[in-house]
Each structure stands twice: as C-alpha cells, then as structure tokens.
C-alpha cells in the first residue's frame, strides 16, 4: 500500500512538474532555453549585448534558430552574429528594457534562418577567422552570408588588428573584423591599413581603401595605404577584411585624428565603442535535461617547454549549473577518458598556433544526459612557467595526474603520451615529492615505461622508490626493488638495485640480519672500483647497525681509501644523483637563492682531498661545514642539494656516520620529507652505538619526535627511559617524564 501511494505521488508530482515546465516555456516549439545575465551594458544602444552560446552538439538542428525573450516573455530584438557547430553561436540582442536577464529559446531548422530585413544592431568588436582558401573574397563573403561567417571561428576582440590568428594556424586564413566608433562631432579622419598580406576596409558600408595581393607591411608601414573620410557625429560601422597566405601575418586599422592622434605615422585605432556582454546562467531542455557552458577554452594558464614541443596548461571549468538539481557533470576527452571533478587542470601538447584539442562536458540528471563540446586553443603563446616555481610545478603535476585518472581502470593511462609528457614528468618530480602519480604510472603503464630511454626511466624509478618508502609497506617496497632488478639490462643499474635492497633492509625494514645476507650478494656483484667502494660502505653500515663499530670502522676506512684513490668527487656508478636537470641551486652561505646550471658533480671542493686520514681537526671542520651546509639547504627548501651533499659526505668521510653530526643531518633530511621511519631507524642506530656524545641528547629527542609521528608508544617509552638514565638533571628531563607519564 505504501509503495502504491508513493508511486501515485510521484506520478502526480511529475505531471505537475511537466505542467509547470510547459507554462514557463514561452516558445512552445523550442526544445532548448538558455538563460542569460547581462554583465556589461553597451556603449551605445545600437551595439546591443553579445553572448556566445556553446554548441558542440548542444544546439538543435543543422541551423539553430534563436528566439530571445525578456522576463515578461516579450520578444527582444536580436541578431545572429556567427555560428560554428564545433564552437558556438553568437547572439547580439537589444538591451532589455527591464531587468538584466533574457531567455534565448532555440528550435532546430534544416535551412538557414532568414536575414532580418532591417535591424539597428551592430556588434563591436568581433573578430572572425576562417582557415583555407585565403583571399579577400573569402573574407568579404563571411560578412555577406547569414548567419555570418559559416565555418569561421569568432569572438570578442579589443580592436581591429592582430598579429596572430587566435583561432587556428597563422598561415592560409582569412579574417573579418567588425566594430564601431562613436563621434561627438563632425570630423575629418585619415584611416589607413597596415597588413601582410592583402586588406580592405569599409566605413558605413562604403569601401574606403583596398590593398589587395600578396605583399608585406612595408608598402603601408608609413600610413600611405588609406584615405581621409569626413564623418558626422554618431555611430559609424567599420568592416575590415584581411587574408594571410604564408610567412608573417599582420592586420591593423590605423588612423590620424586631429587633436587625438596627430603623429606622422598613423596609430592603431583602439577607442572603439563596445557592445555589452552577457554570461550564461542556466541551460535547460524542454524535456527536463540540463547542461552547462565550458568556460575560457582559449585562455591557457601557461606552458613548459622541456622537450620537442611545448605543453600548455588549461584550467577547465563550467557555468550554468545550479546547486541542488541532482546533476552530475563529467569531462570527456575521447577514448573513454572521463573525469568528474568540477574544475580540473589539463595539458595540451603542440605549437600554440596548431592547438585544437576537443573536450566534451556531459551533464546528467533524472531526465537524461546533455552534452556540449569545445576546443581548447591558444590564441597566442601563453606565459612560460618556471621549473623553479613550486606553484607552477604543482599545477603541472596535478594536470598529469588528472590525465592518468581520466583513463578507465585496466587501460594504460600513458599509452598515448608524447615524449614531451614523459620529459616534463621527469623534470617536475623532486625527491620524495612525487605524490601518487608514479604509483599509477608504474602499476598501470609498466610496459610503456620500459620503452622510454633508460636515463628517463631510471630517474622515474628513483623517485618511485622514494614514494614507496613513505608508504611504509615493506613487502611492496621489496617487491618493486626485485622487479626493477629483474627487468633491468644494465649491469651498473642492477648493482644499484642490489644496493637499494641492502639499504631497504637497514633503514626501512630495520632488519640488519637480512641486510647482512644481502650485502654479501652486493659484494659479489661489485666489479668496478666505484662498486667495490659502495659495497664496502654498505658492509660498514651493516656492521654499525649490528653494533659492531670496530668492524664498521674497518669497512668505512676501506671505502674512503677506495674513493680517494679514484681521485673523483662525483657519485659512484650506479648510485643515485639528486640534482635535477634544471633544479634551482642554492648558496648555503647566503639566504638569497641563486640559479645555476645543473651539474652532476658536487658543488664544493672536498676539504679532505689533501687531508691525512688521522687529522681529526680537518675531519671536525669538514663535518661541521657539511652539517651547516645541509641545514642551510633544508632551510631554503633545497632538498635535492641537501641529499646530494649528504651523499658527498658519505663518500668523502664515511667514518662520520659513527659520529653525531652525520646521523643528525641524515635524520633531519628524512624528517624534512616526512620519512619518519628512516629517520627513527637512523637515530636509533646512532643511539645504540654510542655511550655519550655532544649530540646524543638532541638525537634522542628527535627520535621521540619521529616515534610520535609513527604512533609507536612502546618505543617512545623505551627511548624516554633510556634518556633519563643517561642524562639525569638534563633540561629535557621534564619533557621525558611527561612522555612516560601514565
């Protein structure tokens, strides 16, 4: 019974809703209504208010026919000023007498609507561009057709003139500008055209000057391609036609006006009277479906150019949906790519004048789905982003991740990436700051990734392993190390993964016994001098973790001698270098950031290159310098430099790993990147290996800080109790007591 009542209620509600919708529909034979809000008023009533309605499959029929009504359902004078099915339909309507809202109804037609016999409305300023068959005849035909300029893209422009084609390639196109000037008194004004190639302009329907043919701007650069015109007070329409065949492109309407522009060379006409503009508030179909308008498709935020072609960043958003309507909006990019975020960043590859990337917005509600499509274009070269700007880097990482998320599960999200996408991914990722993007790249695009150049793939693998450390999943980390070693063909790189496995057992899993087993394989695989040095280092690390400091010293001395005997300051083969291709370099002695070309060599000369092994003073100065440098790098957010300096320190003076400053510096780096597990294991190894040192109290406090981040209450109590035994009466004593208090 309850279900029957509910069904009857729903039926009654649907009938009432349909009746209400029908009564609100001012044009019964229209299938679509777009509510428009006036944002700015025209400079003259005859210039009307312009709105560009999205199409891309949204508007009905081969020829959508608009019918504009005000809030009182009264007809409003209007004019179609352009239509491209892949772009939109331009409507110019008279300023409403009351209110600031109009309603544009659309019905479909198989034939073009008739041109109004008489209208006072003139758009100002609009720019039309049509590619192919470039000529003045093509340009002028755009103005004679109705709807105007079929096949041309169009939009609002500031003046009559441009050095680019904002809607497509800069060669083989025709353009038409229409705008108005408003004079307060009768004037004689000299108008001239400067163009490459041909151009012609008319005022109030009368041809003033024609400069046809293939030519450069030189013949008209002094303003000699024009005429003086006497104009009465009031509004005057100007139509300017231009075509570009090849090479440089330019179209400019210039003037010389007494009391305003009296220079020998005419100036660009800029003070046009403008039409008002309106925005879309709502799109609704008669059957109850709704849609939205894609915004700012021709306004890229900026670009990076690190490979063959630039990558432009767009921010996609929409307008016209109202909250609480039960709608879902989804971006569609073809090949099954879909993303439901209301605002997203997206990347488009290619030369700016060639960019024409399709995107569709699908909006669904209980009545069904409605779609509209648009092209992402670059009217001009956008601003170049900086790889040294964290905000720019983050925006591009988000865009790459969006492109991955948009690909359906089970499909390869990077299969259609260009080399430029891969290159910018390498450039953008920083140590420990790759975010979730690499997990998808490696788990879903592993086969595609194996086809990339080795150096590029290796850089991504290094960043991925760092991101896995932060997940604190031992099995996952070790499985991927095994995978990389198994799939690697280069012996030096295979050695790198054996080294990584030892480090994982030591600093992540905290299993020195397993690390000792693995270091034996590392030693067997060491062939080159740099590899034998690394193997000796890891043997020292293992013995140190096991509490055998005397054995550790022996291996560290061996590693140091091997490193110094090679007389190199660079990183050993197969080791990880933390300096990016364009990464910002920082002078640790100064708070100012200095940009320098990246180098694979350490930045500073070693203090130990001429030192004796037993010269403890030199070592003390060296360690203090290294520690200060690393902390300065971290203070300036120069993480790659800090990591590189730590590696340099490890190679030049591995025995420092037994003292207080090296472990503290290492722990602070790991805390900086929130790798608290590596930090706490480093500090614990140091604490267990020394009885007393100047840095031990601070090291133990840092260890507790890390354990608190990890939520390990048991180990926190153990360290705090150990502290109280070692440092009775220390200033940190009360803090330690609070830690272990019940």
How far is residue 295's CA from residue 319's CA, in Å, rounded to a whole number? Answer: 7
Could you tell me whether strands 49-54 and 276-285 are parallel, antiparallel, or unpaired per DSSP bridges?
Answer: parallel
pLDDT tens string 329-367 = 999 999 999 999 999 999 999 887 788 899 999 999 999
Mind listing the pLDDT tens digit for each residue in 113-151?
998 888 999 999 999 999 999 999 999 999 999 999 999
Closest CA to 530 of 576, 497, 574: 574
Residue-wise DSSP of 240-309: EEEEE-SSS-EEEEEEEETTTB-SSS-EE----B--EEEEEEEEEETTS-EE-EEE-TT---EEE-SSSS
456-506 pLDDT tens trace: 999 999 999 999 999 999 999 999 999 999 999 999 999 999 999 999 999
Name the helix (H) or strand (E) containing 202.
strand 199-203
Tens digit of each residue's pLDDT (9 = 90 or more) over 10-36: 343 333 344 444 457 999 999 999 999
Question: Is-contact 105 67, C-beta < 8 A?
Answer: yes
| Alpha carbon separation from 710 to 267, 472, 505, 674 (Å, rounded) | 69, 10, 18, 10
- pLDDT(604) > 50: no
Percent of the chain clearing pLDDT 70 (strictly above): 90
- In the block, tokens 């420092």 appear at 656
pLDDT score at 103: 97
Per 3-state DSSP, the chain is made up of helix, strand and coil in percentages (nearest 5) of 40, 25, 40
Q: Give me the mean pLDDT over the 624-628 stretch.
A: 92
List of residues 6+ apart from 395 with CB closer than 8 A: 301, 313, 345, 385
Confidence of residue 612 (pLDDT cuts 50, 70, 90): very low
Phi, psi at residue 68, to the nearest 5°? -100, 130
Smallest CA-to-CA distance from 637 within 377, 362, 431 is with 431
Spell 357-384 as b/e; 16+ CB within 10 A means b: bebbbbbbbeeeebbbbbbbbbbeebee
Nearest to 653 by CA among 563, 575, 577, 549: 563
Which residue in 626, 629, 631 sits closest to 608, CA to CA? Answer: 626
Band of residue 567 on the pLDDT scale cut at 50, 70, 90 = low
Give SS3 for 13. helix
HSE toward the beta carbon, residue 229, CA cutoff 13 A: 20
Measured CA angle at 284 (ends 282, 287), to 5 deg: 165
pTM greater than the 0.75 cutoff: yes
Q: Tell me the pLDDT tens digit for each residue of 223-281.
A: 999 999 999 999 999 999 999 999 999 999 999 998 888 888 889 998 899 999 999 99
Neighbours of 426 (CB within 10 A): 20
Q: What structural domains does the chain harbor?
A: 34-276 (2.60.120.380), 298-471 (no CATH), 473-576 (1.25.40), 585-740 (1.25.40.10)
CA neighbor of 193 nearest in space, from 126, 242, 143:
242
d(CA 172, CA 191): 26
| 622-629, long-range: CB < 8 A, 24+ apart | 622/652, 622/653, 622/656, 623/649, 623/653, 623/656, 623/659, 623/661, 623/662, 624/661, 626/653, 626/656, 626/661, 626/662, 626/665, 627/661, 627/662, 627/664, 627/665, 628/588, 629/588, 629/604
Please give the Cα distance from 427 to 453 (Å, whole number). 14
Least confident of 14-23, 304-313, 393-402: 14-23
Contact between 336 and 307 (Cβ < 8 Å): no
């Amino acid at each position: 019974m309850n279900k029957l009542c509910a069904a009857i209620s729903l039926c009654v509600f649907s009938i009432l809703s349909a009746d209400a919708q029908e009564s609100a529909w001012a044009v019964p034979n229209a299938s679509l209504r777009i509510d428009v809000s006036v944002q700015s008023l025209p400079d003259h009533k005859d210039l009307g208010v312009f709105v560009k309605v999205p199409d891309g499959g949204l508007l009905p029929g081969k020829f959508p026919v608009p019918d504009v009504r005000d809030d009182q359902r009264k007809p409003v004078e209007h004019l179609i000023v352009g239509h491209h099915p892949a772009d939109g339909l331009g409507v110019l309507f008279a300023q409403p007498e009351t209110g600031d809202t109009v309603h544009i109804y659309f019905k479909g037609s198989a034939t073009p609507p008739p041109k109004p016999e008489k209208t006072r409305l003139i758009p100002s300023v609009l720019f039309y561009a049509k590619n192919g068959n470039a000529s003045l005849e093509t340009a002028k035909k755009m103005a004679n057709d109705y709807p105007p300029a079929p096949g041309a893209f169009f939009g609002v422009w500031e003046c009559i003139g441009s050095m680019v084609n904002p809607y497509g390639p800069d060669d083989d196109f025709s353009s038409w500008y229409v705008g108005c000037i408003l004079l307060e008194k009768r004037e004689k004004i000299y108008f001239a055209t400067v163009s490459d190639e041909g151009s012609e302009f008319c005022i109030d329907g009368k041809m003033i000057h024609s400069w046809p043919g293939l030519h450069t701007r030189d013949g008209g650069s002094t303003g000699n391609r024009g005429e003086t015109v006497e104009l009465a007070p009031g509004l005057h329409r100007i139509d300017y036609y231009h075509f570009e065949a090849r090479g440089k492109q330019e179209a400019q309407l210039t003037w010389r006006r007494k009391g305003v522009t009296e220079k020998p060379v005419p100036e660009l006409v800029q003070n046009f009277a403008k039409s008002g503009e309106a925005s879309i508030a709502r799109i609704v179909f008669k059957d109850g479906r709704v849609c939205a308008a894609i915004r700012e498709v021709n306004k890229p935020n900026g670009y990076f150019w690190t490979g063959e072609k630039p990558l432009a960043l767009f921010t996609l958003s929409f307008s016209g949906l109202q909250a609480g309507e039960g709608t879902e909006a989804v971006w569609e990019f073809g090949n099954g790519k879909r993303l439901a975020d209301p605002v997203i960043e997206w990347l488009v590859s290619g030369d700016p004048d060639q960019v024409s990337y399709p995107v569709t917005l699908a909006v669904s509600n209980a009545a069904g789905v409605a779609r509209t499509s648009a092209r992402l274009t670059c009217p001009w070269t956008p601003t170049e982003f900086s790889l040294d700007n964290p905000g720019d880097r983050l925006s591009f990482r988000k865009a790459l991740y969006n492109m991955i998320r948009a690909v359906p599960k089970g499909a390869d999200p990077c299969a259609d990436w260009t080399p430029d996408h891969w290159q910018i991914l390498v450039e953008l990722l920083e140590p420990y700051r790759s975010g979730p993007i690499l997990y998808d790249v490696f788990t879903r695009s592993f086969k595609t990734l194996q086809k990339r150049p080795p150096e590029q793939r290796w850089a991504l693998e290094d960043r991925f392993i760092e991101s896995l450390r932060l997940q604190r999943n031992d099995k996952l980390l070790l499985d991927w190390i095994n995978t990389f070693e198994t799939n690697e063909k280069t012996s030096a790189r295979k050695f790198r993964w054996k080294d990584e496995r030892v480090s994982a057992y030591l600093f992540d899993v905290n299993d020195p016994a397993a690390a000792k087993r693995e270091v034996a394989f590392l030693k067997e695989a060491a062939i080159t001098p740099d590899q034998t040095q690394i193997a000796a280092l890891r043997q020292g690390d293992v013995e140190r973790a096991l509490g055998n400091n005397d054995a550790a010293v022996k291996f560290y001395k061996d590693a140091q001698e091997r490193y110094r005997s090679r007389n190199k300051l660079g990183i050993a083969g197969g080791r990880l270098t933390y300096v990016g291709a364009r990464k910002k370099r920082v002078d640790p002695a100064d708070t100012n950031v200095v940009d320098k070309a990246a180098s694979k060599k350490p930045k500073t000369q070693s203090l130990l290159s001429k030192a004796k092994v037993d010269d403890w003073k030199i070592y003390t100065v060296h360690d203090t310098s290294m520690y200060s440098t690393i902390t300065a790098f971290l203070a300036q957010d120069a993480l790659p430099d800090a990591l590189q300096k730590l590696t340099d320190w490890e190679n030049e003076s591995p025995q420092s790993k037994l003292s207080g400053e090296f472990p503290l510096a290492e722990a602070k780096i790991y805390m900086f990147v929130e790798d608290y597990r590596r930090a706490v294991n480093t500090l614990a190894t140091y604490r267990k290996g020394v009885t007393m040192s100047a840095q031990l109290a601070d090291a133990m406090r840092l260890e507790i800080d890390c354990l608190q981040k990890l939520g390990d209450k048991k180990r926190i109590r153990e360290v705090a109790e150990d502290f109280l035994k070692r440092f009775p009466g220390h200033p940190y004593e009360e803090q330690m007591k609070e830690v272990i208090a019940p």
